[in-house]
Amino acid sequence: MKKTLLRTISCLLTLTLLLCGLSSCTAWDNFYNAFIHKKPQEDKLIRIAVFEPLTGEYASAAADEIAGIELAQKLFPTVLDSTVELVYFDNKSNPDTAKQLAEEIAGDETIKLVLGSYGNTMTVAAGDIFEEAGLPAIAITCTNPLITNTNTNYARVSPVDSFEALGAAEFLAVNLGITNACALYQAGNDLSRTRAEAFVSAFSKYKGNETPSLYAISFAEGESYDALFEEIEAAGAKAIYFPSDPELAKGLIAETQSLGFSFEWVGSSLWARSGIQNSYYTIDYDPYETLSSMTQTFLRSYREKYGRDETPSYETALGFDAYLLALAAIREAESADDRAAVLSSLYAINGLSGATGTITMSPSGDPIKSILIESITGSVEAPIASVLPGSGK
């Protein structure tokens, strides 16, 4: 018994001396982390698929989305005490390859969620496969409404094409108090028409506002638009929403002003940095504006990596936010293993601070967030309002 006691004391002294020696060097940190304060579940990974065209036609554009994802992953590398691992799948900018990869991803039980793809065609090609597997997915810059309208597993972080039009209607009706407006669209331009029609529908819902007239306009050299604007003025319209190519808008606005017509003009984000004077445009991201508590965190991270004077693209900001949405959904579900719970949490996200603003998800999986209204006077382009479409504020 005496020998046993002496042996125990000897071991304790040896361990004490070892710890004392370790405490003054890096080895102590390693020993402490490995045996005394082991991080919870440090060997557990939560794998998120980055489903993007790493090669092919869209690789360059997709690189901006990926840059945002990777910035966010560097800042927030864990969730539920587990390390997030990004697993890359190259769909090669090809819808057929995208479908094949989607089968591979959906069948891998270690993949908990999908981010991407850049390009509506690749995303649509994979959508049914992810839906059948019950695998949550987040589109980043895709604006095709079919992605979420026809799929119960896809959400998106970029608003659909028509969302800016809702912001324009809100601004004119609520901020400027205009009750009579109209919308123009460029004949033959589907995006222009989609936004103009969305504006008409949204604007007429504000109490006291008339249903706007909708006009198609084609541009031919030497054509005069006097009669059109005389009709618009006679109808009592005080504002015109025109989601068009900025060069076309610039010429048309200059012509109406030279003819003595006076309207408030509102365009889409295509007008940003265009120099169209004394007009407004809608935009859902401005890298020079603080849109939420996360904006400056994103900008600091971006400039630390790419340079103090570098400005992140909208695509990079959306990639950053898509990763944040993924982590929020997993966190709220309290487990990454239950795909249905993660999906349910994703669709229920409310008030998430992201680089592009405060994000709330709609039941259809589309983001609801504020739209900026900016104005151009001289060489200065500046935000003058922030509106949340449908909120009346």
Domains of the chain: 43-159+289-361 (3.40.50.2300), 163-283+372-387 (3.40.50.2300)
Closest CA to 362 of 157, 211, 170: 157
Q: Which residues of the chain fall short of a pLDDT of 70?
A: 1-43, 391-393
Contact 118, 313 (CB under 8 A): no
Q: What is the pLDDT of residue 378?
A: 76
Q: What is the pLDDT of residue 223?
A: 82
Nearest-angstrom CA–CA distance, 5 and 16: 16
* Each residue's pLDDT tens digit, 274-330: 888 889 999 989 988 999 999 999 999 999 999 988 899 999 999 999 999 999 999
Locate 87 and state its tokens. Answer: 């697993």
Strands 239-241 and 357-361: unpaired
Q: What is the pLDDT of residue 377?
A: 77
Closest CA to 321 of 350, 298, 293, 288: 298
Please tell me what DSSP assigns to residue 171: I
Q: What is the pLDDT of residue 5?
A: 42
Q: What is the pLDDT of residue 381?
A: 80
Q: What is the pLDDT of residue 36?
A: 39
| Residue 24 preceded by cis peptide, ω within 30 | no
pTM for the model stands at 0.85
